Structure 1
Amino acid sequence: MAIVYTCRHCGLKLGEIKEQVVDTTVLGWNKLTDEEKREMIQYKENGDVQIHAICENCQESLGHHPEYHELDYFIQ
């Protein structure tokens, strides 16, 4: 099992945790609302977990263009 972090906007792989047992409270998942969990966490058929986060470049773009928050995807 692996936990793979990817940018929700550009798809960049941000990181990966390859452990059989992971304490999700250490990762902060317990601080997410149910809606945030549904939006961010995707369980794959192979047992991996994909986390949709945001990379620094996309965060910077959102900071410069706040209207992009209205869009599901702002990278064309």
Structure 2
Amino acid sequence: MAIVYTCRHCGNEIGKLEQKVIDTSMLGLDQLTAKEKEEMITYRNNGDVHIHAICENCEEALGHHPNYHELDFFIQ
């Protein structure tokens, strides 16, 4: 089982945690609302958990271009 973080904008893998047992509260996932969990977390058949976050490059681009926040995807 792995937790895989990918950027929701560019699709690049940000990081991966490979653990047999993972306490989701240590990752802060228990702090998310039900809607945020639905939007950010997907579960795979093999037991992997994929979390859609934002990478440093896309975060920087959003900082320079705040109007990008209006878009679902700003990288084509």
Which bin holds the TM-score, normalised by the shorter protein? Answer: over 0.9
Instruction: State the 4+ residue runs in structure 1 displaced beyond 4 angstroms.
Output: none
Alignment coverage as a number of residue pairs: 76
The corresponding residue for 2:38 is 38
The corresponding residue for 1:64 is 64
User: Partners of 1:7 and 1:34 in 2: how far apart?
Assistant: 20
Greater helix content: 1
User: Partners of 1:19 and 1:51 in 2: how far apart?
Assistant: 15
User: Is the partner of 1:3 in helix, strand or coil?
Assistant: strand
- Find out whether 1:12 has 2:18 as its counterpart: no
Residues 28-70 of structure 1, C-alpha deviations (whole Å, 9 max, x = no match): 0111111110111000111111000000010011111111111
Task: Provide structure 1 residue ranges, at least 5 long, that are not aligned to the other structure.
Answer: none
Task: Provide structure 2 residue ranges, at least 5 long, that are not aligned to the other structure.
Answer: none
Residues 6-38 of structure 1, C-alpha deviations (whole Å, 9 max, x = no match): 000001111111111101110001111111101
TM-score, structure 2 length as denominator? 0.96
User: Is the partner of 2:67 in helix, strand or coil?
Assistant: helix
User: Partners of 1:16 and 1:26 in 2: how far apart?
Assistant: 15
